[in-house]
Amino acid sequence: MKTKLKVKTLDSDVSIQDFKKIPKAPITVILDNLRSAFNVGSIIRTSDCALVKKVIMCGITAHPPHKKLEKTAVGTLDYVDWEYEPFLIDAVKKQQKEGIPVIALETTNKSKKIWDFKFPLPVSIVLGNEALGISKNILEIADSIIEIPMLGFKNSINVAVACGIVIHEIQRQHWSIYPK
């Protein structure tokens, strides 16, 4: 006997008011001067899918209202808490003052491979500018630096893709925090 496949469609089953009541994962994503509004929108969409607590957009990072961001966020802006902080250092120090470890995603000589790192909760993840990476002053004060190992010629991947990989690894390590 064949079982009929049913696709979960939470978006059509829950009002925004009820969705806001769903407990969020204690993950904050901090964006350091991202140049592409499309990447920011994609990160918002990924953050929604993982029930991320908040996205903080810093510096030149596009933030609502912004047509390109809204296009790739695909209707998720109302479902993800976000804020704009002009200075990345202020966002990082605020997280640390609240006792939340700040983890930078950057390839350095001090980086730990993502699969060798035990993510604490709550946690803040800093994602850097596509061309310049994360500011050096932030790398110096980050609680840890992690990397996604690269094998190809280009030593980096798209920041929105990298965000999805990191969030997925946090989910994998802490799946029990997610509502059933």
Q: How far apart are CA 84 and CA 110, in angstroms?
A: 29
Nearest to 166 by CA among 114, 129, 128: 114
* pLDDT of amino acid 12: 60
CATH class name, domain 21-173: alpha beta
* Most distant CA atoms of the chain, gap in Å: 61
**Helical (H) or strand (E) element with 31:** strand 25-32
* pLDDT of amino acid 179: 62
* pLDDT of amino acid 66: 76
Sheet with 25-32, strands from edge to edge, namely 82-85, 52-58, 25-32, 123-127, 102-105, 144-147, 112-113
**Six token digits for residue 56:** 């903080």
* pLDDT of amino acid 7: 46
Beta pairing partners, 32: 58
What residue spans define the domains of the chain?
21-173
Regions of the chain with pLDDT less than 70: 1-12, 178-180
* pLDDT of amino acid 110: 93
* pLDDT of amino acid 71: 78
* pLDDT of amino acid 68: 80
